Structure 1
Amino acid sequence: MLMEPSKDAELYPPPLDGISKVCFGTNSASYFILASSWAGSISVYDSVDGTLRIEFGKANENPPLLDCAWIDERQVVAGNSLGQVLLYSMQSTLPTEGQLIGQHTAGVRCVAYSETIESVITASWDSSIQVWDIRDNLSTSKSSASLTGKAFALSLHQNTCIVGTSKRKLEFWDLRKMDKAWNIQESPIRQQIRSIACSPDANRFAIGSTEGRVAIQPFPSLESNGLETSSHASFSFKCHRQSAGAPDGADLVFPVNVICFHPVYGTFATGGGDGVVNIWDGDSKKRICQLRSFPCSISSLSFSSDGSQLAIASSYTFEEGERDHPPDALYVHSVADNEVLPRHFRTE
C-alpha cells in the first residue's frame, strides 16, 4: 500500500552536514529527538513544536559524529571519527564540546546505552567493542574485546548485544561476560552488513545490506550457546530497488541504511538510499505500506517509545558517490495504525 503524501512535521534548523543518527528519547524525554551529524554537532529537538532546543559542539569545527544515544533525560553520548566517546549534559547552561569518557584507536561507528548494566557500549572501526562505566562521573572501561572485523552495525536487547562486522560476521555478546562472543554467525546475506535491529520481544533480528536486501533471523538461545533458536523461520527479501530501464531488466539497487522495529506491534520500518521508507509485517512476510518519497537517502529512523511517531533523517549517504544532492532534513511522521498493524491484528 502506497500512502498518500502527508504533511510531515519538519524539524528546524537541520544539522549542517550529513545526519548520522536520529533517536527519540525515553521516559520523561520521550518527546525529544537527538540527532548527530558529520558536522561534528549534536542537536536536541522538541518533536511537539519542531524546534531546536539545544546544540552541542560548533558545527564544522569538530570531527564528524558517527553515532549517538540517549543515556537518560539528563545525558547523551556520541562517538566520533577520531575514536573519541563523548558525554554531553542536557543540564549545561552553555553548549559544550562534550566530556571525553573513552577512546578507541579508530572511528566509533556504533554507540548504545544499556540500562541493565548502566554502561555505554561502543564498537569501532578498530575492530573492538568496549563497555564504559559512567556512574559517579567515572569514565573507565569495564571491558574491551576484539571483534572479527570493523564494526558496521550494532543492536542491543537487555543483556545481549549483536554486532555486524566488515567480515560479514554477526557476533553475539553477553554484556555481563565480555571475555568473548558467545555466538558468531556468518551473515545470511552475501553483501556487506549495513544495519541490524532486534525485535522488541527478542525472538528475532533483522539485517540490512548494501545490496537492497533484508534478512530476518531467529534469535539464538544464550542458554544453549546459540545451538537452539526461537521458532521463527529465517527468510530474506529484496527491497529498496528501482527500475533502471536497462535492456536486461536490471534494477538500480540501494543500500538498506536503517531498520527500526515498532515498539508495540513488532512490525518494522526500513530506510534506504532511494529515499523511501517501507514498513513490513515480518509474520506475514508482506509490506504493509510505503511512505511518501523523501528528498534524499534515508540515513536513520527512530520510533517514539509509544510508537505514535517516526523520526526520519533524509540525508545523502553517498551511495552514488560525490554529487549534488538535496539539503539534509529531519521529519517527524505521525504514525497511523494502518501503517504499522500486523495482519493478525486487522479485522478486515
Structure 2
Amino acid sequence: MASFGTQQPVAAAGQKKSIGPNDCNVPQAGTDGISSLNWSPTANFLISSNWDSGVRVWEAACNPQNTNQPVQVQPKAQVNHENSMPVLDTCFSADGSTVFSCGADKAVRMWRLGETPPNNIPQQIGAHDKPIQSVGFLSKSNLVVSGGWDAKLKFWDTRSPTPVGEFQLPERVYDLDVQGGLMVVATANRQVIIYDVSGPQPREHSRKESPLKYQSRCVSCFPDQTGFAIGSIEGRVGVQYIQKIPNKDHFAFKCHRQDSNVYSVNCLAFQNVYGTFATVGSDGVVTFWDKDNKQRLKAFPAIGQTIPCAAFNAQGNMFAYASSYNWSKGSQFYSPGSTPNEIYVHYTPEDEIKPKAAKKK
C-alpha cells in the first residue's frame, strides 16, 4: 500500500493542541487519562471514560456556517465507578438511552441517561475476575458483551446479574468491537476471534492470527460488516475481510512513524457514511484513510501529545479525539502538571473524509 506513505506532518512542540484551528475544546474533560470516546447512535451525545473513575456525557451541536466555531459542546452529566478505579471503556445501547461502562473495578455498569444513580455510582450488571478492558452492545439480541483480562468474554441481560453466556478465550482481551451482526475480539498473543452476533445466541465464526507482527492495540469493524481493521504497537494497520470479496484483498500498511521512530496505533474510528476511517497514535497524529482506494485522505499536523482514542458521530460530520497520557509507559513517565487531559471535537467536511477518485495506474 505504498500510495499511503508513512511520513506524518510534524508540528513544533507546544505550538498545536488541536488538529484544527477551530476545533471545540470540550469542557470538564477529567483529571486523568482518557481511555475511550463514543457517540450515541441516535443523537449527538458524546461519552468518555477516564482513569480518574469518571464517565462523562456532553451534548454537541454542529453549525458549519459558523466558521469560527462550527461545533459547540455542553457538559450534561457525570457518574463514577467505585473506589476511584479507572474506567477503561464505554458504549451506548442501540436506542441511545443507556450507557454501559467497564474498568479496573472488574464490574460492568449501566447508567440510564437522565437519571442520577444512588451515590452517583452506575448500577452493576456484571463482573469478571480481573479488570475489564472492553464493553459492547449487541443490537440484534439486546445483550451487553464484556471482555476482560481474565481471558473471558461474557454476555449480559441487564435484568440478571448472571451472564447468559460465556466464552473462554485464548488470552486477555485487548479490544473488541461490534457492528450489527459482526463482533471482532483482539487478544494478547496476536489472536483474533470473529463472532456472528446476528441471532439471539452469539457464536464463534472463526479464529486467526493477527496479520501484524506485534501486539494488537485496537480493532474496529467496517460499517458494512464485511471485515475489520486492526492496529498494533508497531505503527501498522491490517485490513481484513470476513469472506472473499471480488477485487478486494487483505492488506496492511505502515503509519504513525517519523524517521526511525515507530508509534502505537491507539484507535481506529470508521465514518459510517463513507466507510472511510481515522487512525490516531502515540505520535499525536490524526490521519484519515480510504481503505477501498488505498489512499490517505488527510494527514493533520501532530499536536505534540499522545492521542489515545477517537470517534466519529453517527452523521459523520463530527470527529472527537482525546489528548492525554495513556499509561502505556507506566507511572514513571506520568507528569500531572505537564500532561493535560483534553477532548476536542473537529467539524469534518466532506472533502476531508469522502473517498476521492482512484488514482490511475
2:226 to 203, 217, 229: 203
* Aligned positions of 1:12-51 closer than 5 A: 12-27=27-42, 30-48=43-61, 49-51=72-74
Deviation, 1:165, is: 0.7
1:232 aligns with 2:248: yes
Tell me, yes or no, if the aligned pair for 1:144 and 1:178 is still in contact at 8 Å. no
Q: Identify the residue that residue 108 of structure 1 maps to in structure 2.
A: 132
Which stretch has the larger CA shift, 111-120 or 86-95? Answer: 86-95
Unmatched 5+ stretches in structure 1: 221-227, 244-250
Deviation, 1:271, is: 0.5
Measured in 2, the distance between the counterparts of 1:41 and 1:345 equals 44
Measured in 1, the distance between the counterparts of 2:213 and 2:310 equals 24
Measured in 1, the distance between the counterparts of 2:113 and 2:358 equals 39
Measured in 2, the distance between the counterparts of 1:286 and 1:304 equals 22
Deviation, 1:97, is: 0.5
Deviation, 1:166, is: 0.2
Q: Identify the residue that residue 143 of structure 1 maps to in structure 2.
A: 165
2:311 is matched by which residue type in structure 1? S
1:190 to 186, 191, 213: 213
Measured in 1, the distance between the counterparts of 2:347 and 2:77 equals 23
Deviation, 1:74, is: 2.6
Deviation, 1:4, is: 8.1
Q: Identify the residue that residue 9 of structure 1 maps to in structure 2.
A: 24
Tell me, yes or no, if the aligned pair for 1:295 and 1:326 is still in contact at 8 Å. no
Measured in 2, the distance between the counterparts of 1:277 and 1:4 equals 7
Deviation, 1:344, is: 3.2
1:331 to 330, 338, 344: 344
Measured in 2, the distance between the counterparts of 1:180 and 1:116 equals 13
Measured in 2, the distance between the counterparts of 1:98 and 1:240 equals 37
Deviation, 1:22, is: 0.6
* Aligned positions of 1:95-134 closer than 5 A: 96-134=120-158
Q: Identify the residue that residue 357 of structure 2 maps to in structure 1.
A: 344
Tell me, yes or no, if the aligned pair for 1:218 and 1:230 is still in contact at 8 Å. no
Measured in 1, the distance between the counterparts of 2:125 and 2:255 equals 39
1:105 is matched by which residue type in structure 2? D
Q: SS of the residue aligned with 2:326?
A: coil
Deviation, 1:239, is: 0.6
Deviation, 1:62, is: 2.0
Measured in 2, the distance between the counterparts of 1:170 and 1:231 equals 24
Higher relative contact order at CA 8 Å, sep ≥6: structure 1 or structure 2?
2
Measured in 1, the distance between the counterparts of 2:19 and 2:321 equals 17
Q: TM-score, normalised by structure 1?
A: 0.88
1:75 aligns with 2:107: no
Counterparts in 2 of 1:342 and 1:143: CA distance versus 1, 3 Å: same
Q: Identify the residue that residue 184 of structure 2 maps to in structure 1.
A: 162
Q: Identify the residue that residue 64 of structure 2 maps to in structure 1.
A: none
Q: Identify the residue that residue 319 of structure 2 maps to in structure 1.
A: 310
Deviation, 1:232, is: 1.9
2:221 is matched by which residue type in structure 1? C
Deviation, 1:16, is: 1.1
Q: Identify the residue that residue 225 of structure 1 maps to in structure 2.
A: none
1:339 is matched by which residue type in structure 2? E
Deviation, 1:46, is: 1.6
Deviation, 1:161, is: 1.2
2:321 is matched by which residue type in structure 1? I
Tell me, yes or no, if the aligned pair for 2:181 and 2:225 is still in contact at 8 Å. no
Measured in 2, the distance between the counterparts of 1:180 and 1:113 equals 15
Unmatched 5+ stretches in structure 2: 1-7, 10-17, 62-71
